[in-house]
Chain A
Amino acid sequence: MYTFSNRLKIASIVLMIVGALGIIGGFVMAPGTIAEAKAMVASHDEGHGDAHETEAAHAPKENDHAVADTHGEEHDSSHDQHLLDQLKNRPWAALYVAAFFFMMISLGVLAFYAIQRAAQAGWSPLLFRVMEGITSYLVPGGIIVFVILLLSVLHMNHLFIWMDADVVAHDALLQGKSGYLNPTFFLIRAAIFLAGWIGYREYSRKLSLAQDESDDNSNFKLNFRISAGFLVFYLISESIMSWDWIMSVEPHWFSTLFGWYIFASMFVSGITVIAMVTIYLKSKGYLPDVNNSHIHDLAKFMFGISIFWTYLWFSQFMLIWYSNIPEEVTYYITRIADYRLPFFGMVAMNFLFPVLLLMNSDYKRINWFVILTGIVILAGHYMDIFNAIMPSTVGKNWYIGIPEIGSVLFFAGLFIFWIFRALSTAPLQPKRNPFIEESRHFHY
């Protein structure tokens, strides 16, 4: 039985408090009027002007501005309003990216767990309680994301411009999509998806615990069946979720493999967190039967799914880059012009780094190597979601500052607090899983 150590508990609470201060600071610092917004951008440019001019990435930005300046007075004021909206969006977008990122980790683990169940995998039952602990965060994490979406529908922020009736009234494309992309249906879909994910998680966890006390395998078999069914639901709902919650911040743009792309991101982040939590628990003397072959297998998944993510990232990028169709290519033009460092930095973090570090078979068994790579992978996939949300919500006014770091710290604290509290509620090793012996003797 794992006990949630006081040090970790205090650390997670400190993270939450510091993070909450950062989030509040972000909202307080957001400008209220156009004049404030202009003053903020002006002082920002003064302060960082020198550093920015040296970056090639900002060359096209200056040109854009010059073009914008030639527009008439009327256009200028709408430009200012746009700037104000973007700066107001920033704390919201920072909150949303972090909330989604940690929710996505537990959802990725849930998919991995369901695959292990449906495949009746023999190597992984020793890790089931770790996975169940991580998926427990889906309840608070999913509800927080839902609340943010609800606040967006209530016009508390402008993350999703298609929710603005004025915008839709002047936009033929959005009118055409409004049968699907309207606030009511959007919330209904979100509620159905979350109910399905959380429902499966809670039911499967219950069966998993009941299997320990039972004297036959009926709970195990039922868990197998519902997991297979859940995977069908998950694949459809995850895809639609990625269109709704991420792709629709840029409602004119679409990509047909976006669901897979987000799936790869959440899958690799989830597996990374499983490996990190397992290594942490092992370092504290728990999970005595988990050997380095289990870590090796998790690291192989981290390696493989990182390449899978890159494959999807590149497939999406290359087709759009090559065809160069204006309505598609804007997505990458804004990212390469305004987000060059996070955009290409993310590819290095999510592809080059894990490929080079985890390629050697022996390195996949070295705990600190796995942890180090895991930290980079998690940071890289946070940047992935950042790059998906920010360009459409705050435009070129992005920065990794107090709102962004505060949000990450807050949700990291909540995540750690919640999953380790869940881990302490049940024995870390399943007793009566029919494959537990195979898992204990697993060796590569």
Chain B
Amino acid sequence: MASKVIHAFYDDDDVLMLAVKKVKAAKHHIDEVYCPFPVHGLDKAMGLAPTRIAITSFMYGCVGLAVSILMMNYIMIEDWPQDIGGKPSFSYIENMPAFVPIMFELTVFFAAHLMVITFYLRSRLWPFKEAENPDVRTTDDHFLMEIEIHDNEQELKDLLMETGAVEINVSEKNSH
């Protein structure tokens, strides 16, 4: 489905923050803001829901911990018990201190890698993907605010002009 969107350009992150606050105060929904760098506090100003990636990270960490315990139990205790340094590996719990570094590392490894992969999938990023940003200048020195138009083009244009936009375009957009 194609829809008409308005693109407002800004050349300063402070001006952009004030603009976002004004647009939200005027009860318009901001679809997206494209920035060349992360702007602190922008997510709160846009009213985005807080990220849930921390919860996934905790769950991945638990998976990593479980995998490391099962893995070390199989490798060192069940499959091929050895007598290392006078500590025969007959029971997991008695040899547990030696496995703690591995438990720790795999917890971190699972949490970190799966969290990054989750982030990429959730952000719809993958290799050779075509960039979504509507204007190349958002990778250089411009900020772009995208608002969908619902028969209020002129009203939005006036509002955005007032907030200090340096350029305003209207274009068609194919939503994904």
- Point out residues on A near B: beta carbons under 8 Å: 314, 317-318, 321-324, 359-361
B161 interface residue per 8 A CB criterion: no
Given contacts A317-B97, A318-B97, A318-B98, contact A324 B85 (CB under 8 A): yes
B87: chain A residues within 8 A (beta carbon): 322, 324
The answer to whether B98 and A359 have CB atoms under 8 Å apart is no
A323: chain B residues within 8 A (beta carbon): 85
A322: chain B residues within 8 A (beta carbon): 85, 87, 97-98
0/1 string, B64-92, CB within 8 A of A gives 1: 00000000000000000000011100000
CB distance from A323 to the nearest CB of B (A): 7
B116 interface residue per 8 A CB criterion: no
The answer to whether B85 and A314 have CB atoms under 8 Å apart is no
The CA of A275 and the CA of B92, in the complex, are separated in Å by 40
Q: How many residues of B contact A (CB 8 A)?
A: 9
CB distance from A291 to the nearest CB of B (A): 15
Given contacts A359-B58, A361-B54, contact A318 B85 (CB under 8 A): no
Determine the residue in chain A with the shortest Cβ distance to B54.
A361
B86: chain A residues within 8 A (beta carbon): 324
A361: chain B residues within 8 A (beta carbon): 54
B166 interface residue per 8 A CB criterion: no
Beyond the given pairs A322-B98, A324-B87, A360-B54, 10 more chain A to chain B contacts, judged by CB atoms under 8 angstroms and listed by A's residue number, are A314-B97, A317-B97, A318-B97, A318-B98, A322-B85, A322-B87, A322-B97, A324-B85, A324-B86, A361-B54
B98: chain A residues within 8 A (beta carbon): 318, 322
A324: chain B residues within 8 A (beta carbon): 85-87
B100 interface residue per 8 A CB criterion: yes
The CA of A438 and the CA of B98, in the complex, are separated in Å by 46
CB distance from B91 to the nearest CB of A (A): 15
The CA of A323 and the CA of B97, in the complex, are separated in Å by 12
The CA of A322 and the CA of B87, in the complex, are separated in Å by 8
A317: chain B residues within 8 A (beta carbon): 97
| B101-118, CB < 8 A from A | 101
B97: chain A residues within 8 A (beta carbon): 314, 317-318, 321-322
B101: chain A residues within 8 A (beta carbon): 318
**Shortest beta-carbon contacts, A-B, top 4:** A318-B97, A321-B97, A322-B85, A314-B100
CB distance from B148 to the nearest CB of A (A): 31
CB distance from A325 to the nearest CB of B (A): 11
The CA of A322 and the CA of B99, in the complex, are separated in Å by 11
Determine the residue in chain A with the shortest Cβ distance to B86.
A324
B54: chain A residues within 8 A (beta carbon): 360-361
CB distance from B154 to the nearest CB of A (A): 37
The answer to whether B100 and A318 have CB atoms under 8 Å apart is yes
